[in-house]
Structure 1
Amino acid sequence: MKDRTIGIIGGGQLGRMLAMAAARLNYRTIILEPQPDCPAAQLTNGQITAAYDDAAALAELSNLCSVVTYEFENVPVAAAETLAATVPVYPPPKALEVAQDRLTEKRFLNGCGIETARFHAVDSQADLEAALADFDGKGVLKTRRLGYDGKGQRVFKGPQDSPAGAFEALGAVPLILESFVPFEREVSIIAARGTDGTVRAYDAAENVHRDGILHTSTLPAAIGPQTQATALKAAESLLSALDYVGVIGMEFFVLGDGTLIANEIAPRVHNSGHWTEAACIVSQFEQHIRAVAGLPLGDPARHSDCVMQNLIGDDIDDLNDWLKTSDTLVHLYGKTEARPGRKMGHVTRLTGANRQEKA
């Protein structure tokens, strides 16, 4: 069964949904995850309960699987490289290395011809003060590594916001200061690249965040065809540069003239692509499994307009109302305890047929 078994590092809701997609294509999945009662454990064929960098666990995963993937971008790069010596790892470890450090990520995107916000590396309080002076006292200070959902950040709205103590307050770790971008909306594109280099991309979603966490993704996004084409071109450039295999999420700011500024990338299936399971024949999860398993990529065409909404914390209390709503797919993540900021599930409401003709 090894040739039909996919290893997944990480046992959260993304791993859970990947396991569901794999099962539909007659693949088994084994997860490596230290938490025994994780969401993915309920649906996978097996779990290795150990740290992500445990040498014995990595060897066991390699022996059991024909390919390994991951559901989040903070997998230790060294662990991915160890696995890659004995079994294909998709997306490649290089993608992890780029995505785990915001400074490395920005420089790599720029090297691919993809525009980002202006930025400065910040390794001291003096660096921060100099960077803010260059940006007229404005910018977003972020930890370079491990931040997500708005965590590890501080916003400076102008000279009135004193930077005193900010470097220490964020842990005295390597930081990055990014300039403000005068954007009108935020969009993301979910794209996939197969082992043969084929690229397929879903339509861009328009995203709204609350408290740094994705709230809704709406299709279609209020952008023109040229902006959509620019997003696709950026994705193709990045995927090629990384020799990527699998699904990637790319977030962009859209300026008033339709110009795109790349915000960040995620080398995995992405929250803003959850709508694809309701509004496309082939979801982002199935597309990722197809890619890493060496299967032909599916058609990413959207058959319906839709709005995906995350159920965060006590949003789960509205479950019965969502279950009564027509044309709505409800997807829960198997988590029993609702906490503030915790993603408990999502719903996708179809809002009408997409009647655009295929190109």
Structure 2
Amino acid sequence: MKRVGIIGGGQLAWMMGDAAKKLGVELIIQTPHKDDPAVSIAQETVFAAVDDAVATGILAQKCDIITFENEFVDLDALSLLENQGVCFRPRLAALAPLLDKYHQRCYLQNLGLPVPKFFALEQPEDRSKIEYLGFPVVLKARRHGYDGQGTYVIQDLATLLKIVNQSQTAFLVEEFIPFTKELAIIAARSVNGEILTYPVVETQQEQQVCRRVIAPAEITAEQEAEIRAIAHTLLNSLQAVGIFGIELFLTGNGKILVNEIAPRTHNSGHFSLDACEVSQFEQHLRAVCGLPLVNPILHCSGAVMVNLLGYQNSHSDYQNQRQQLGEIPHSHLHWYGKSESRIGRKLGHITVLLEQPNQDAVNTLIQTIESIWYTHS
């Protein structure tokens, strides 16, 4: 029986629980809080911050392979463990170009992949680069941005300088893309180099946080082929093992641009739990454990996934709304069991399988779900 260590104990690790049971894999979690979702499905837990490499050394003694639920780790410290023979999947060299968003942009550009115009903001007073891009621009923290944190759409220089001067972090500036759709693809690569991709999906963000995912995305066959080719180029270049999430923009003239890469399971792939032959969580475990990958085709016409985000600070379990959501036909509700609700926090998600997907039906369904959830009862 394989024993897999996971750095991070949130809902992404928690959703690996059922897949681990199915595959006969034991999960050992490194996470700082005893009430984190994945603690309930772990065979054992190392309670420590995810960037605590000493704790990861303890984790390594308890398992065969270590993988990642999030990328907020200390690569330099972990590399000492890797040099001692600890098996990380994906390998640390696959994470290294991605963790700093400026380095990630440079890596993608050097691969010849299409990205927005960008530069590292090293001297805020260097106005010529900013004026070259033209406002609005997007300002991103180079490290530790997640769920919209550290990402700003900036309308003028004064606002940009205010944010930069109030922060102790390094920033990336990139052109604002007036996209027609935001897209994403989940791709898996095995230890043998086999790559399988999930259907391209449309993601809908509000305040830089994913609110909804529609599978499959309404795009042309050529656009889908281009996105799949981007996934193959990236994962082969990194020699990655495991699941990667790739976020993209579709512009008004049909151009595809890569937005960001997540070297782990990803919110845009949650629909796969209920709509695909294999979930992204099972596929990830298959990949890191050296098991055969499974073709992740849809077993329905389509699906809509809606994140259930906190809209207040409370300790409610929202039983009334959850019951109403569960009564929607063909719905699958996933509640993460978090003890506290905060504004914007991901508390769960609901996926509804579609029989005959069309835009009107999708819009009506989303409206129904969100009118139930955001009742503030």
TM-score scaled by structure 2?
0.88
Tell me the CA shift for residue 211 of structure 1: 1.8
- Bigger drift between 19-28 and 221-230 goes to 19-28
1:82 and 1:20, CA in 2 relative to 1: closer, same or farther beyond 3 A? farther
Q: Which residue of 2 aligns with 1:313?
A: 310
Structure 2 match to 1:119: 118
Q: Size of the alignment, in residue pairs? A: 349
The one-character-per-residue Cα deviations of 1:111-144 (angstroms, maximum 9, x if unpaired) are: 11111100011012213x2321111233111111
What letter corresponds to residue 296 of structure 1 in structure 2? P
Contact 2:35–2:338, Cα closer than 8 Å, also in 1: no
Mapped pair 1:290 → 2:286: yes
Aligned partner letter, 1:310: N
Which residue is 1:264 aligned to?
A: 260
Candidates 48, 58, 61, aligned match of 1:60 = 58
1:7 aligns with 2:39: no
CA 1:26–1:163: 2 relative to 1, 3 Å: closer
Take 1:162 and 1:24, find their aligned partners in 2: how far apart are those partners? 51
Cα 1:173–1:314 shift into 2, 3 Å: closer
CA RMSD, aligned part only?
1.8
1: distance between equivalents of 2:151 and 2:332? Answer: 33
Indicate whether 1:341 and 2:377 are aligned: no
Measure the CA separation in 2 of the matches of 1:66 and 1:76. 20
* Distance change (3 Å), C-alpha of 1:137 and 1:219: closer
> For the residues of structure 2 that align with 1:20 and 1:79, how far apart are their CA atoms?
31
CA contact (8 A) 2:53 2:74 kept: no
Supply the AA of the counterpart residue of 1:344: L
- 2: CA distance between counterparts of 1:301 and 1:162? 45
* Residue of structure 1 in register with 2:362 after alignment: none
SS in 1 for 2:249: strand
Name the stretch that deviates more: 332-341 or 196-205. Answer: 332-341
Q: Superposition pairs for residues 188-207 of structure 1, below 5 Å?
A: 188-207=184-203
Give yes or no for the alignment of 1:74 onto 2:72: yes
Does the aligned pair in 2 maintain the 1:80–1:89 contact within 8 Å? Answer: no
**Pairs within 5 Å for 1:209-220:** 209-220=205-216
The aligned residue for residue 141 of structure 1 is: 139
1:80 Cα deviation from its structure 2 partner? 3.3
1:214 is displaced (CA, Å) by 0.4
Letter in 1 for 2:21: A
Amino acid across the alignment from 2:325: W
What CA distance in whole angstroms lies between the structure 1 residues aligned with 2:76 and 2:356?
46
Paired residue for 1:157? 155
Q: Does 1:168 align with 2:162?
A: no
Q: Which residue of 1 aligns with 2:368?
A: none
1:148 aligned partner, one-letter code: Y
The CA deviation at 1:53 is 4.2
Render the CA deviation track for 1:213-237: whole Å, top value 9, x for unaligned.
1010001211111111111100100
Distance of 2:214 and 2:140 partners within structure 1: 27
Question: Which of the numbers 223, 234, 239 marks the counterpart of 2:235?
Answer: 239
Query: Once superposed, which parts of structure 1, at least 4 consecutive aligned residues long, lie more than 6 Å away?
Result: none
- Equivalent pairs: percent with the same residue? 37
Q: 1:165 to 1:76 in 2, by over 3 A?
A: same
The answer to whether the 8 Å contact 1:122/1:177 transfers is yes
Instruction: Point out the more displaced range, 132-141 or 194-203.
Output: 132-141
8 Å CA contact 2:51–2:72 kept in 1: the answer is no
Which residue matches 2:369?
A: none
Give the one of 216, 225, 228 matched to 2:224: 228
**1: CA distance between counterparts of 2:49 and 2:168?**
26
State the TM-score, normalized to the length of structure 1: 0.93
2:24 equivalent among 23, 26, 29: 26
Bigger Cα displacement from structure 2, 263-272 vs 204-213: 204-213
**Displacement, 1:156?**
2.5
Structure 1 distance, partners of 2:160, 2:96, is 30
The residue identity in structure 1 corresponding to 2:306 is: Q
Cα pair 1:328 1:347 within 8 Å, conserved: yes
Deviation at 1:329, TM superposition (A): 0.6
User: What's the CA shift for 1:313?
Assistant: 0.7
Q: Is the CA contact (8 Å cut-off) linking 1:224 and 1:258 kept in structure 2? A: no
- 1:99 corresponds to: 98
Question: Aligned AA for 1:293?
Answer: C
- Is the 2:265–2:281 Cα contact (8 Å) retained in structure 1? yes
The residue identity in structure 2 corresponding to 1:337 is E
Query: In the TM superposition, what is the alpha-carbon distance from 1:353 to its structure 2 partner?
Result: 6.6
Aligned to 2:364: none
Q: Secondary structure at the match of 2:303?
A: strand
Residue 108 of structure 1: SS of its match in structure 2? helix
